[in-house]
């Protein structure tokens, strides 16, 4: 285990509307505001998303199991923002529900908002970290400087 201590620097309240590409919009905001280190929460709906529901087997590197979400889903999730060199990396886990059926997954790409998606971003100060590629695990891993 490794850890660092920091404080909250800035807070962003963001609204995405019907049909917006959530992840593309987040990347745009992160670059514009130069958010280097943050945690965020989402609340609302997603109409589409390509997600990972876990590894096929508990091995390193993992073989991800992909699923595609199509149709309206209620969404509640939390994620983090760190960079790999010049590229922001978003890591979001969310519960996506429809009529009592819920899938919990890592939201990766192809995101379209259903009705509204509210996001609260808590930018952190005093923590020097990134998310560089971790070859042994086959993924971008949170790494402290």
Question: Domain residues of the chain, as ranges?
Answer: 8-144
Q: What pLDDT sits at residue 38? A: 98
User: Pick from 133, 135, 125, 143: which is nearest to 37 by CA?
Assistant: 125
Query: Cα separations (Å) of 79 from 57, 58, 99, 136?
Result: 23, 22, 24, 23
What would the mean pLDDT of 35-61 be, rounded to a whole number? 97
Q: What pLDDT sits at residue 49? A: 98
Given this structure, which CATH class describes domain 8-144? alpha beta
Q: In the chain, pLDDT over 70 holds for what percent of residues?
A: 100
Query: Cα separations (Å) of 71 from 68, 99, 114, 144?
Result: 10, 12, 8, 38
**Measured CA angle at 134 (ends 129, 6), to 5 deg:** 15
Q: What pLDDT sits at residue 67? A: 97
Q: What pLDDT sits at residue 22? A: 98
Question: pLDDT tier at 66 (50, 70, 90 boundaries)?
Answer: very high
Under a CB-based contact definition with an 8 Å cutoff, are residues 73 and 60 in contact? no
pTM over 0.75: yes
Question: pLDDT tier at 18 (50, 70, 90 boundaries)?
Answer: very high
């Amino acid at each position: 285990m490794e850890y660092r201590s920091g404080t909250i620097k800035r807070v962003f309240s963001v609204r995405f509307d019907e049909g917006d590409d959530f992840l593309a919009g987040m990347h745009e905001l992160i670059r514009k505001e130069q958010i280097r280190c943050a945690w965020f929460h989402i609340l609302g709906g997603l109409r589409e998303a390509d997600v990972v529901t876990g590894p096929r087997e508990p091995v390193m590197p993992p073989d991800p199991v992909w699923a595609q979400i199509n149709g309206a889903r209620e969404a509640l999730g939390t994620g983090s923002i760190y960079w790999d060199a010049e590229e922001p990396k978003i890591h979001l886990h969310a519960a996506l529900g429809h009529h009592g059926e819920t899938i919990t997954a890592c939201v990766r790409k192809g995101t379209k908002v259903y009705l509204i998606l509210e996001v609260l971003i808590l930018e952190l100060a005093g923590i020097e970290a990134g998310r560089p590629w971790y070859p042994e695990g086959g993924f971008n891993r949170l790494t402290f400087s």
